[in-house]
Amino acid sequence: MNGRADFGERNAEVPRPIPHIGADYIPTEEERRVFAECSDESFWFRSVPLAATSMLITQGLISKGILSSHPKYGSIPKLIFACIMGYFAGKLSYVKTCQEKFKNLENSPLGEALRSGQTRRSSPTGYYSQKSKYDSNVSGHSSFVTSPEAGNIEKEMLPRYEPIPFSSSMNESTPTGITDHIAQGRNFS
């Protein structure tokens, strides 16, 4: 191989279009079943155990005096907070497992979108369909190609900053170019 990519080769496999999964998407019956299963399993197998464990640890820390209890409400506010954090930690810890369940569905647009790595749901509509001027025309090849435009693109991408004056003798007692134009012009005697 001479170090150059042969762009004349064509892939025999044509990728299927990625379905648009947005707020208006209606899940299939099988996807609804997986949603319910994920919700149920994440609650019973992750949220309840983590909430209970966090509450027990919090109560233990309060009993030992490491955490203080509220003078009026006692340990209840801290226990409620620990329960809520444990609940959400349990739900969040189950997200990857649910994604894998959706990826394993055969005829699921949502599963297909997850398999392809699509994340349109968290971005504005049409964001991924817009082509950036920095995108390469050839997909699947290395983007480390030197071209005459590479220097211009780097200059366009870098932010433009104004130089900041620097003095090596800066300390707290000397002002650094701060002037009060109003006070200089008036004499208040």
**pLDDT value at position 141?**
47
According to the model, what pLDDT value does residue 75 have? 95
Contact 21, 113 (CB under 8 A): yes
Looking at residue 183, what is its pLDDT? Answer: 56
Q: Which residues pair with residue 74 across a beta bridge?
A: 70
- Measured between alpha carbons, how far is 50 from 98 in angstroms, rounded to an integer? 18
The whole-model pTM stands at 0.52
Polymer length of the chain: 189
pLDDT of residue 142: 45
70: β partners: 74
Average pLDDT in the 82-98 region?
A: 97
pLDDT at position 117, please? 79
Helix (H, G, I), strand (E, B) or coil at 70: strand
Average pLDDT over residues 153-171: 60
Cβ atoms of residues 69 and 75 within 8 Å: yes
pLDDT of 98: 95
What are the start-end ranges of the H helices in the chain?
29-42, 48-63, 76-93, 95-103, 109-115, 149-157, 181-185
Q: How confident is the model at residue 47 (pLDDT cuts 50, 70, 90)?
A: very high
pLDDT tens readout for residues 112-121: 888 887 554 4
- Give, in degrees to the nearest 5, the angle at Cα 177 between 176 and 183: 120
Q: In this predicted model, what pLDDT tens digit does every residue of 133-156 receive, in sequence order? A: 444 444 444 444 455 555 555 556
Q: Is the Cβ–Cβ distance between 18 and 116 less than 8 Å? A: yes
pLDDT grade for 88, boundaries at 50, 70 and 90: very high
DSSP state of 44: I
What does the domain layout of the chain look like in residue ranges? 28-66, 69-106
Q: How far apart are CA 20 and CA 147, in angstroms?
A: 35
Residue 74 phi/psi, 5-degree rounding, is: 70, -140
